[in-house]
Amino acid sequence: MASENPEIETLSFEDSLRELEGIVRKLESGEVPLEDSITLYEKGEALRRHCQKRLDAAQARIEKIVTGPEGEPVATQPFDAPER
């Protein structure tokens, strides 16, 4: 759904999270009509996916796990560093 909402793709993680929190508050209030609730839920889901995508990208950039021959983690290195 995020691809159906190009404006969401341009939001920072912090702005997306703030908007998602606002949607959750509105939905939890119980004062939103059903049709509006569905629309808000769909936008909230798109925002959640966008936030997760941004978190995943940030994590990948921060560090990359280097595994030993048994598959166990033995070290970390910056994501953009060449393989050892």
- The SS3 assignment for 73 reads strand
List, for residues 32-73, the tens digit of each pLDDT value: 999 999 999 999 999 999 999 999 888 776 666 666 677 777
Q: What is the pLDDT of residue 41?
A: 97
List, for residues 10-28, the tens digit of each pLDDT value: 999 999 999 999 999 999 9
Rounded to two decimals, the pTM is 0.68
Is residue 47 a contact partner of residue 20, using CB atoms and an 8 Å limit? yes
What is d(CA 55, CA 78) in angstroms, rounded to the nearest whole number? 16
**φ, ψ dihedrals at 15, nearest 5°:** -65, -40
CATH number assigned to the domain covering 2-77? 1.10.287
With 0-12 CB in 10 A as exposed, 13-18 as middle and 19+ as buried, what is 82? exposed
Paired with 76 in beta bridges are 65
Residue 76 has pLDDT above 70, yes or no: no
Is residue 28 a contact partner of residue 40, using CB atoms and an 8 Å limit? no
